Chains A and B, each alone.
Chain A
Amino acid sequence: MRTIITLIAGLLFGSGLKLSGMVNPLKVQNFLDLFGDWDPSLAFVMGGAIAVTMPSFWLIKKRGSPMYNDKFHLPKNTDFDMKLILGAAIFGMGWGLGGFCPGPAITSLSLAASGTFIFVPTMLIGMIAAKSIFK
Chain B
Amino acid sequence: MVNAIGILNLETQFTPFTSLAGGALIGLSAIVLMLAHGRIAGISGIISRLLPPSIDKMGATQGLTFVMGLLLSTPLWFTFSYQAPVQSVSNNFVLLGFAGLLVGFGSVLGNGCTSGHGVCGVSRASGRSVVATIIFMSTGFLTVFTLRHVVGG
A interface residues (Cβ-Cβ under 8 A, vs B): 2-3, 5-27, 29-30, 32-37, 39-42, 44-54, 56-57, 60, 63, 65-69, 71-75, 77-80, 83-103, 105-111, 113-116, 118-132, 134-135
Knowing A25-B88, A129-B105, the reply to whether A41 touches B19 (Cβ < 8 A) is yes
In the bound complex, CA of A113 to CA of B89 (Å): 7
In the bound complex, CA of A131 to CA of B49 (Å): 9
With a CB–CB cut-off of 8 A, which chain A residues contact B84? 111
In the bound complex, CA of A134 to CA of B137 (Å): 23
Knowing A34-B141, A74-B124, A96-B144, the reply to whether A130 touches B104 (Cβ < 8 A) is yes
Partner of A96, one of B85, B88, B91, B141: B141
How would you classify the secondary structure of chain A's contact residues: helix, strand, loop or mixed?
helix
With a CB–CB cut-off of 8 A, which chain B residues contact A35? 145, 149
With a CB–CB cut-off of 8 A, which chain A residues contact B43? 13, 101-103, 106
The answer to whether B88 touches A24, judged by C-beta atoms less than 8 angstroms apart, is yes
The answer to whether A20 touches B62, judged by C-beta atoms less than 8 angstroms apart, is no
The answer to whether A92 touches B135, judged by C-beta atoms less than 8 angstroms apart, is yes
The answer to whether A91 touches B106, judged by C-beta atoms less than 8 angstroms apart, is yes
Knowing A107-B74, A131-B48, the reply to whether A48 touches B87 (Cβ < 8 A) is no
Question: Smallest distance from the beta carbon of A42 to chain B beta carbons, Å?
Answer: 7
The answer to whether B35 touches A106, judged by C-beta atoms less than 8 angstroms apart, is no
Question: Smallest distance from the beta carbon of B97 to chain A beta carbons, Å?
Answer: 5
The answer to whether A126 touches B12, judged by C-beta atoms less than 8 angstroms apart, is no
The answer to whether B65 touches A7, judged by C-beta atoms less than 8 angstroms apart, is yes
- 25 A-B pairs with C-beta separation under 8 A: A6-B33, A10-B29, A13-B43, A15-B76, A20-B21, A21-B19, A32-B141, A37-B9, A41-B16, A46-B118, A50-B23, A52-B24, A75-B121, A77-B128, A90-B109, A92-B136, A94-B98, A94-B103, A98-B90, A99-B89, A100-B103, A102-B115, A106-B43, A122-B99, A126-B106
In the bound complex, CA of A115 to CA of B114 (Å): 20
The answer to whether B140 touches A95, judged by C-beta atoms less than 8 angstroms apart, is yes
How would you classify the secondary structure of chain B's contact residues: helix, strand, loop or mixed?
helix
In the bound complex, CA of A40 to CA of B8 (Å): 18
With a CB–CB cut-off of 8 A, which chain B residues contact A20? 15, 18-23, 25-26
With a CB–CB cut-off of 8 A, which chain B residues contact A103? 43, 70, 113-115
- Chain B residue, CB-CB nearest to A96: B143
In the bound complex, CA of A124 to CA of B43 (Å): 12
The answer to whether A80 touches B127, judged by C-beta atoms less than 8 angstroms apart, is yes
- Chain B residue, CB-CB nearest to A103: B43
Knowing A36-B148, A54-B123, A69-B37, the reply to whether A22 touches B87 (Cβ < 8 A) is no
Question: Smallest distance from the beta carbon of B24 to chain A beta carbons, Å?
Answer: 4
With a CB–CB cut-off of 8 A, which chain A residues contact B38? 65-66, 69, 71-74
